[in-house]
Amino acid sequence: MHTAEPGAVTATDLEIAVLGPPRHPSPLASTLVERRSSLHWVDEGDRVLFDDTLGIAAGRDVPISLLPSMEPGGPRRRLYFDPATARAGVVSCGGLCPGINDVVRGLVLQLAQYGVRTVLGFRNGYLGLVPPLGEEPLELTPASVRGIDRQGGSLLGTSRGAQDPEAVVDTLQRHGLDMLFVIGGDGTLRGAAAIAAAARARRADIAVVGVPKTIDNDIPYIDHSFGFQTAFARAAESIRAAQVEAAATPYGVGLVKLMGRHSGFIACYASLACHDVDVVLVPEVPFTLDGPRGVLEFVRRKVEEQGHAVVVLAEGAGQDLVPPDGAGAADASGNLRLADIGGLLRRRLTEHFAEHRMGLNLRYVDPGYAIRSVPANGYDGVYCTRLAHAAVHAALSGRTEMIVGRWHGRFVHLPIALVTGVRNVVDPEGDLWLTVLETTGQPPVFDG
């Protein structure tokens, strides 16, 4: 679900900025199959329909040709930049996420496939693009990125916080760069849009293309974010460990806090992967701790019935229940600092069991940083590589101020303004949350 319904998106919202008409034949012509029926080349007249149901499409009451649609990702026959002389930059920003190195590697190898000879990697996020804070960029080559996909973290490092877009464009022009690939979440992508706007104001031909990175899966209008599958699979391992610990002790409760500031996708998917979770708490669904229909009493009854219980919560769940205690201030990325819902629930469960003279054995697990730092699994590794290839195809063709993503199984181009204007969240009325309720057996609401 998205905080803005798909039906509200118009054809104008999906238009992609282009620096100019294509001027150069693609050097990939010698490696791709050249025949009329080939699916390798993107037909510039082709579009991917945005609506995924007949009801939404019919409700627009417009001809098929006027339905909202997206540019397909992929190689073009003609390019805006000449790969033989083009120069590119790469930067990763924000928190760590499985797959960043896979994206960096994919970008470098695909640029080399086109014949781009110079690729610079800027260190420590946008800081690396603003002197005197930034170090000299790394020269990225196929040899220097060999094997980095087997490492967690980011070869380039990362940081949070915005930098002056004018200073960033100064740096890009000083290095003679034609393209900047930005790997990051919504705050990073807003920064990328500001950089693209500053370049446009100078009439500088610099393509800015984003590869969206968010471990919480909260970027809208894409099937899912890279690293998400690795994250929830690793989170599921932590839940299984908590379940084993809880089952091995009398009155055992496993309490697992997972990532998810505003969106509870990791908590939902990781819990469904385990089948042994009794309660899932997410930011999108308010809940009450106390009372006969509250969380505490439900967990206690579960322990009485089956000997143990497992509770999974997203870090942003229940923020209305936690005393601020320093929370609420913004971090360098502009995100409000969260109160510790895990600590509160741990304390209240202990008190509640004590009131009923039950000797609680609670195992509290917070695997967040351990999950963020791992390498991508096989699925995400492939997905990252394909996203990187789509980003290179887009940038060389002159597309800018956009991201690449996958929508209904097709790689597409999306404007940064569209994907940063709303947030992808779990729909409390949707099939994912219904599946969670059916699997856990928890009530639709904990309302005291």
Please give the distance of CA 128 from its chain centroid, rounded to a whole number: 22
Q: What is the 8-class DSSP label of residue 71?
A: P
Tokens of 36: 């009329």
Would you tell me which CATH number, out of the four given (3.40.50.460, 3.40.50.620, 3.40.1190.20, 3.40.50.300), belongs to the domain 229-373+428-440?
A: 3.40.50.460
**Residue 409, Cβ density class (10 Å: 0-12 exposed, 13-18 middle, ≥19 buried):** exposed
Instruction: Say what the pLDDT of residue 435 is.
Output: 98
Cis-peptide, bond into residue 444, ω within 30° of zero: no
- Which of the four pLDDT bands, split at 50, 70 and 90, describes residue 7? low
Q: What is the 8-class DSSP label of residue 206?
A: -
Q: Is the pLDDT of residue 398 over 80?
A: yes
Q: Is the pLDDT of residue 300 over 80?
A: yes
Instruction: Say what the pLDDT of residue 2 is.
Output: 46
Catalytic residue among 216, 218, 276, 380: 216
Q: Determine the residue type at 138.
A: L
Instruction: Say what the pLDDT of residue 59 is.
Output: 86
- Which of the four pLDDT bands, split at 50, 70 and 90, describes residue 325? low
Nearest to 146, CA basis, from 113, 109, 199? 109
Instruction: Say what the pLDDT of residue 131 is.
Output: 85
Look at the domain 6-225+375-419 and name its fold. Answer: Rossmann fold (3.40.50)
Lowest mean pLDDT among 50-64, 152-166, 393-407: 50-64
Q: Where in the chain is the domain with CATH 3.40.50.460?
A: 229-373+428-440
Instruction: Say what the pLDDT of residue 326 is.
Output: 55
Average pLDDT estimate for 309-333: 80
* Helix ranges restricted to H, 75-185: 100-114, 165-174
Nearest to 384, CA basis, from 163, 118, 158, 108? 108
Average pLDDT estimate for 196-203: 97
Residue 61, φ and ψ in degrees, nearest 5: 55, 50
d(CA 255, CA 363) in angstroms, rounded, equals: 6
* Helix ranges restricted to H, 60-185: 100-114, 165-174
**Residue pLDDT, tens place only, 9-53:** 888 999 999 999 999 999 998 765 555 545 578 988 889 999 988
- Which of the four pLDDT bands, split at 50, 70 and 90, describes residue 66? confident
**Residue pLDDT, tens place only, 104-150:** 999 999 999 999 999 999 999 999 999 887 789 999 999 999 999 99
* DSSP conformation letters of 263-318: --HHHHHHHHHHS--SEEE-TTS---SSSTTSHHHHHHHHHHHHSEEEEEEETTTT
- Which of the four pLDDT bands, split at 50, 70 and 90, describes residue 162? confident
CB within 8 Å of 374: residues ≥ 6 apart: 98, 152, 230, 234
Tokens of 277: 């979770």
**Residue pLDDT, tens place only, 67-97:** 899 999 999 999 999 999 999 999 999 999 9
Q: What is the 8-class DSSP label of residue 66?
A: G
d(CA 31, CA 389) in angstroms, rounded, equals: 15
Q: Supply the pTM of this predicted model.
A: 0.92
Clarify whether 216 is annotated catalytic. Answer: yes
Residue with tokens 């509870």: 264
Q: Is the pLDDT of residue 324 over 80?
A: no
Q: In whole numbers, what is the pLDDT of the chain averaged over residues?
A: 92
Q: Where in the chain is the domain with CATH 3.40.50.450?
A: 6-225+375-419
Q: Is the pLDDT of residue 161 over 90?
A: no
Q: Determine the residue type at 156.
A: L
Average pLDDT estimate for 265-273: 98
